[in-house]
Amino acid sequence: MRQRRIEGSAPTSTGIATPQCILVKEVNWLGDAVMSLPALRAIRRTWPNSHLAVLVKRELAGFFDGVGWIDEVIPYKLAADGIRRFADTARIILRIRRARFDLAILFPNNFSSALWVALAGVPARAGYIRDRRGPLLTHKVFPRQEGAGAHQSQYWLAMIRATLGVDDDAQESALDIHEPHRERMRQWLEARRLRPGSPVIALAPGAAFGPAKEWPASCYSAVIDLLVERGAECVLVGTPGERALCQDVSRAGSTAMVAAGDTGVGELIALLSLCDGFVGNDSGCAHVAAALGIPTVAIFGSTDPRGTAPIGSKAVVIYRGIECSPCFARTCRFGHYDCLRSISPEEVVDTLQRLGALESRLAPSNYGS
């Protein structure tokens, strides 16, 4: 652990002593990590000289590779069940205890995160009262009622304001990019491009939640065809588990590069920063693209963009809002998926073009400069 920094830290209105060493338990999904950035930055600004660490799942740790204002990233893993999960949990608690954190701030709502920091002896523990964990928290508040209309990025800001007096509403979700990742992805693109100098559009056809968030694969293939006709190249991005889907999308239409499975989270951020535009479902990739400031078209089906739309000056959501939407279901109870199927590839590509995505901003030899 780096040396703790304590000079000049700002007190808050709740009476909590100025913390020397702060642990933030981060969220578990990529899109949520992007939306939690305003709250994380608010914590940094409130205590600029405190040691700030984040505890995050190992597969998401690369999200913080380029974040210089975080002092420490603590990745962890948990086995699915049994004695190995117990051992993993014990290691996490021991790691927290040895660091002697003064304050733990819990972004997830689960019971386990509160139990970890309580057993590790962190004296001040802030979070929402959820999952029966209220007695484990020292600074706590009930969350707002569901459907209150606020964006998800406000959810964690509201918690740290109510529990710790962190009064900072700046909606700053810009992403930091790790330059070694960007150089690797620049080389990856240059080795695979067929039309150097043309705009590069990223597409993310997968969604972890289920088919009610997935625009049909055939529509993504049609988008690739339309983009190629308009002079662009396409790269398909996603998780290793989505690689087969991306390959099917590519084979069904014009040839596209497939990066799904070739990138960790940090490299995905770097790759998207080199693209001229993005099309994808309501997923983590869409939030990353929007936060990077590239033209982004996010397709929503079963979920509500009022709460989870990607935040960015060049981000547009296409959402039909039909009678049964938003249903928040994994599958369509009527079996028609009209909220998604009524969105045409032409509409998506036209939206991208209006956003300026088909006007390449990058020369083939200097991506990201």
In angstroms, rounded to a whole number, what is the distance separating the alpha carbons of residues 70 and 214? 34
Please check whether the two domains, 21-164 and 179-354, share a CATH topology: yes
| pLDDT (average), residues 161-190 | 90
Q: What are phi and psi of 358, to 5 degrees?
A: -95, 10
In this model, does residue 157 exceed pLDDT 70?
yes
Note the pLDDT tens digit of each residue in 29-60: 999 999 999 999 999 999 999 999 999 999 99
In this model, does residue 16 exceed pLDDT 90?
no
The upper half-sphere exposure of residue 101, i.e. CA atoms within 13 Å in the direction of its Cβ, equals 29
In this model, does residue 145 exceed pLDDT 90?
no
In angstroms, rounded to a whole number, what is the distance separating the alpha carbons of residues 97 and 106? 16
Question: Count of CB atoms within 10 A of residue 365's CB?
Answer: 10
Least confident of 5-9, 22-26, 153-157, 359-363: 5-9
In the chain, domain spans: 21-164, 179-354
Architecture of domain 21-164: 3-Layer(aba) Sandwich (3.40)
**Exposure class string for 114-147: b at 16+ Cβ within 10 A, else e:** bebbbbbebebbbbbbbeebeebbbbbbeeeeee
Longest dimension (CA), the chain: 62
To the question of domain 179-354 being in CATH 3.50.30.30, the answer is no
In this model, does residue 147 exceed pLDDT 60?
no
Please give the pLDDT value at position 276.
97
Note the pLDDT tens digit of each residue in 217-272: 999 999 999 999 999 999 999 999 999 999 999 987 778 999 999 999 999 999 99
The upper half-sphere exposure of residue 245, i.e. CA atoms within 13 Å in the direction of its Cβ, equals 23
- Read off the pTM: 0.90
In this model, does residue 363 exceed pLDDT 70?
no
One-letter amino acid for residue 21 of the chain: C
pLDDT range class, residue 360, cuts 50, 70, 90: low
In this model, does residue 8 exceed pLDDT 50?
no
Please give the pLDDT value at position 18.
86
